[in-house]
Amino acid sequence: MLKAAAEMIDPLNRYPGYLLRRASLAAMVALATRLAPLDLRPGEATVLTVIEANPNSTQSDIGRLLEIARANMAPLVSRLASRELIERQPVDRRSHGLVLTRSGRSLVARVKAAFAAHEQTLLENIPASHRNAFISGLQALAEKTSNGN
Amino acid sequence: MLKAAAEMIDPLNRYPGYLLRRASLAAMVALATRLAPLDLRPGEATVLTVIEANPNSTQSDIGRLLEIARANMAPLVSRLASRELIERQPVDRRSHGLVLTRSGRSLVARVKAAFAAHEQTLLENIPASHRNAFISGLQALAEKTSNGN
DNA sequence: TATTGTTATACTCTATAACTATA
DNA sequence: TATAGTTATAGAGTATAACAATA
């Protein structure tokens, strides 16, 4: 006999940590859906916006900022470069500063529009009177993430 | 030249969706660390508490509640059963109600203590005046997760 | 000595498809 | 027809180790 979730006791329903994970998962799915038409995953789109804001950063710099391991930045950056969305400009003989190409600049504009629409949808789901406190709480928790990468 | 994250512009720092993901990730790492001594992953620990609160639910019921796909519930439940933390009691000839064994009951008590400590630590990181609004906001977003599983 | 970029590898989580047995 | 449980498989994301080249 099929038992609906509503008939069961969810012992975790009031746990902020559990809600946090569920909310985050839902948001990531929504964002991935929004980015799919651009053929970008959330991590790739994020890196593009960071390159725009910090031209000539190295992929190690970007990895530290976003807490993406160097080993995982390599293939991500390679994908963006092979799509000619970014270019590597030599900084010294072992590292390269990353910059957007023309088509990268045009794509990042669409990324930013998608991000803005996504964030607005998120906020609209939160009662206006709670929004500031909600964001403050998230910032407090997110800062705890800082590992000494 | 090594560039510290603090010297870079993070264009996402005010985005609730981005903060949500970072905060969720940090919380999951902290929870996994807390559960490691019990030799349980977060998903396994969660399932144990749901079985305690809903004895004789089937694994499909639990999967719907937690939004874990049936296909992924199978090995998870098998691990718990092979550790003799839960027992399968026949409901009909194709499904089984899950209940905690004696050692499962004793372990779930430790799980609940770990969860409580984890959630308390989370809340302590949020200014007291923001906590209620923070939780309300999370609940509003988490409800959006409801897929018709 | 430390850092950059890279490759290889592995583990977890998640998602889909396909199948048998049962309702 | 729909559901339960299972298996196999594949895709992400993430993590560590090791290496060559360079600082």
Of B23, B11, B115, B9, the C-alpha closest to A134 is B23
- The span from the CA of B100 to the CA of A118, in Å, is 42
Over residues A69-85, the mean pLDDT reads: 97
For A110, half-sphere exposure in the C-beta direction (CA atoms, 13 angstrom radius) is 12
Asked if pLDDT for residue A2 goes beyond 90, the answer is: no
- DSSP assignment string, A65-99: HHT--HHHHHHHHHHHHHTTSEEEEESSSS-EEEE
* Nucleotide nearest the Cα atom of A3 (by C1'): D3
Q: For strand C, give the nucleotides within 7 A of a protein CB.
A: 3-9, 12-18, 21-23
Per-residue pLDDT of A107-126, as tens digits, reads: 999 999 999 999 999 999 99
CA distance A35 to chain B (A): 14
Phi, psi of A6 (to 5 degrees): -65, -20
Give me the pLDDT at residue B45, please: 97
Report the C-alpha gap between B89 and B98 in whole angstroms.
Answer: 6
Could you tell me which of B115, B2, B29, B146 has the C-alpha nearest to residue A16?
B115
Q: What is the pLDDT of residue B145?
A: 57
Q: Do residues A149 and A71 make contact, with C-beta atoms less than 8 angstroms apart?
A: no
If you count residue pairs, one on A and one on B, with CB atoms under 8 Å apart, how many are there? 205
Which residue's C-alpha is at the least distance from the C1' of C12?
A: B41
More confident residue, A5 or B146: A5
User: In A, which residues are within 8 Å of B90 by CB distance?
Assistant: none
Per-residue pLDDT tens, chain B, 149 aa: give them: 677 777 899 999 889 999 999 999 999 999 999 999 999 999 999 999 999 999 999 999 999 999 999 999 999 999 999 999 999 999 999 999 999 999 999 999 999 999 999 999 999 999 999 999 999 999 988 876 543 33
| Contact predicate B18/A116, CB 8 Å | no
* Protein CA B6 to sugar C1' C12 (Å): 31
Q: Are B65 and B47 a contacting pair, CB within 8 Å? A: no
